[in-house]
Amino acid sequence: MNKYITIILLALLATLSACTDDDSFSASTANTLTFSADTVTFDTLFSRVPTATRTFWVYNHSGDGIRCSSVRLENGNQTGYRVNVDGIYLGSAQGYQTNEIEIRDKDSIRVFVELTSPENHAKTPQLLEDNIVFTLKSGVQQKVNLRGYSWDADIIGMLEIRHDTTISAVDKPLIIQQGLRVDSGATLTVARGSTIYFGQRAGMDIYGRLVADGTAEKNVIFRGDRIDKMFDYLPYDRVPGQWQGIHFHTSSYENRLNYTDIHSAYNGVVCDSSSVERLKLQAYNTTIHNCQGYGLKETNCVVDLWNCQITNTLSDCAAFFGGGAMLRHCTIAQFYPFDANRGVALRFSNYDGDKDYPLYQFDVYNTLVTGYADDVVMGDFNKSTDATYMFSHCILRTIKPDTINEQQFRHVTFENVEDTAAITGAKHFRDIDADKQYYDFHLDSLSTAIDSAEVLPNGYSATDRDGRQRDSRPDIGAYEYHHDSSATPAALPRRRR
C-alpha cells in the first residue's frame, strides 16, 4: 500500500511541477505572439449586409506564457467590424476591448471577425480598414489588419411591380432580398447595363411581362448577392444555387431577354404551360449558366432562342416539353462538375410526367450540343400525341441513328465519342476549368464548329452572342471565332423558315 501511495504522490508532484512551468509568464519584449494571418480580408461587400465570418489563430511559440493587458478594436464601433476573442465579444459594454488575456506557452486562441459596413455615400466601393490591437504586458503592441471594400446599394425586401415600370440599376447596385413579382398586366423593363442582385431565397415571379434590353457592350445581369469568395480561388458568383432564378407563370407572354446574363441560380428560366398561339419568351444573345436545377425548362409554350449559351446545370441544361421552339446559333453544353448524376445538355419530349404535350415544332439550326457524357441529347417521346423536330447544320454529342431521316437531321455531325483524336466535348472551347469553376465557351481554334454553319436568312447569321460580325462562312454555336466588328441583330420569326 505504501508503495502505491508513493507512486501517486510522485505523479502529483510531477503534475504540479508541469503546471508551474506552464503557468510562468514573461514580461520580456522578446516574447511575442504569432498570428495565422496578419491581414483579414473581406474583398468587396455591400454596405448594411452582414458578411460571413472570418477567423484567425493567435499562437504563443515564445517559450514562456504571455499576458495581454488588452485586446481591442482600434476604431471602436466606427467601421462596422465585430470581433470575438477567445469567446469574448468586443462590444460596446466592454469598450470594444477585453483585458488580461493569457496565452500559455505552446497554446493558442481563436479570433472571429464579421463586418456590417455603414453606408459610404460613394458610387464606387470604398476601402474600410481597422486593426485588432494586442497590447502585451511588456508594452509591445501587435496588430492584425482588417480590410474590405464597402459598396453602397439599394436594398429592397420584396419588390412587387403592379404597373409598367422601368428599373435602372447602373450607377448603384440593386439588391432584392425576398423576391420580385411582376403582376399580370404589368411590364417590367430593365435598362441596359443594369445588374440586379438577389438573395438566396429570392427570384423573379413573372405573371405579367419582363423586358431585359441589354446591348453587346452593356448586358443586363441577374445574379446572386454574394460578392465575396467561398475560397481564395472561388468567388460565390461561380457557385450554383445563389438565387432562385426567373419563373414565367401561365399568364405571362411576350417576354424578351436581349443581351442578358443569368447565372448561378437554382433554375435559370422556367416557362409554365400556356397558349401556343402566343409567344412566351424571346431570348436573344442570352447566357444561362451554372444552375443547381434546370438552365431553361419550357412546358407547352412557344419560345424563340437565338445566339444563346445554356451551360452547366445539375438538371438538364435546356429541356422542352411540348409546345414550339426555335433555336438558332446556340451553344448548349453540359460540364456541371458537382454531381456525376447531372442531366443531359438538351432534352425534348412530348410529355412531362403523366401529362402529354404535343411538340408541334422543334427546329434547331447551327447549334452546338456537347458535354462530358457520351450522350447528352435526349429525344423522349410517346405515341399518344405529336412530336415534330428537325436539326440542321448542328453538332450533337449523341449516338448516331442507324438510319438518318433527312427530314429530321440535315448536315448534322454526330460526335464520335470513341475517337480520342476527334475534336469533341471540352475540346471545342477555350477553357473548361472545373477546379476553379471557370468556363469560357468561346470556340477554340481547333473546333470543328468553325466555318460549319449555314447562312441563315434575314440576318440570323449576321452577329454572334457578343455582337461581333460573323463572316460569310459562319460558325456553329453562339460564338464566332476571332471576329471584332458588331452588328445589330434582326427580329426572329416564330415559325419555321
Q: Per-residue pLDDT tens for 71-113?
A: 999 999 899 999 999 999 999 988 999 999 999 999 999 999 9
Closest CA to 393 of 329, 443, 478, 347: 329
Q: Nine-digit cell at 258?
A: 436581349
Residue 36 near residue 78 (C-beta atoms within 8 A): no
pLDDT band at 475 (very low <50, low <70, confident <90, very high): very high
Closest CA to 60 of 106, 6, 8, 12: 106
Residue 318 near residue 289 (C-beta atoms within 8 A): no
Residue 383 predicted with pLDDT over 50:
yes
Distances from the Cα of 23 to the Cα of 17, 26, 35, 70, 325, angstroms = 10, 10, 21, 19, 76
- Tell me the fold of 34-150: Immunoglobulin-like (2.60.40)
Which residue type occupies 489?
Answer: P
How confident is the model over 450-462, as a mean pLDDT?
96
Q: Give pLDDT, residue 420.
A: 60
pLDDT band at 484 (very low <50, low <70, confident <90, very high): very low
Dist CA 486 CA 489 (whole Å): 9
pLDDT band at 155 (very low <50, low <70, confident <90, very high): very high
What are phi and psi for residue 22, nearest 5 degrees?
-70, -30
Q: Nine-digit cell at 277?
A: 398561339
Residue 73 near residue 119 (C-beta atoms within 8 A): no
pTM given for the model: 0.87
Q: Give pLDDT, residue 456.
A: 97
What are phi and psi for residue 333, nearest 5 degrees?
-135, 135
pLDDT band at 197 (very low <50, low <70, confident <90, very high): very high
Residue 421 predicted with pLDDT over 50:
yes
Q: What is the pLDDT of residues 222-269, one digit of tens each?
A: 999 999 888 888 999 999 999 999 999 999 999 999 999 999 999 999
Residue 203 predicted with pLDDT over 80:
yes
Helices (H) and strands (E) in the chain, counts: 1, 42
Count Cβ atoms below 10 Å from residue 344 Cβ, excluding itself.
Answer: 23
Residue 113 near residue 74 (C-beta atoms within 8 A): no
How confident is the model over 372-394, as a mean pLDDT?
93
Q: Give the burial string for 97-110 (b: 16+ CB within 10 Å, else e).
A: bbeebebbbeeebe
pLDDT band at 13 (very low <50, low <70, confident <90, very high): low
Count Cβ atoms below 10 Å from residue 234 Cβ, excluding itself.
Answer: 14
Residues in contact with 304: Cβ distance below 8 Å, sequence separation at least 6, in sequence order: 279, 281, 282, 283, 325, 326, 492, 494
pLDDT band at 271 (very low <50, low <70, confident <90, very high): very high
Q: What is the pLDDT of residues 310-347, one digit of tens each?
A: 999 999 999 999 999 999 999 999 999 989 899 999 99
How confident is the model over 165-190, as a mean pLDDT?
96
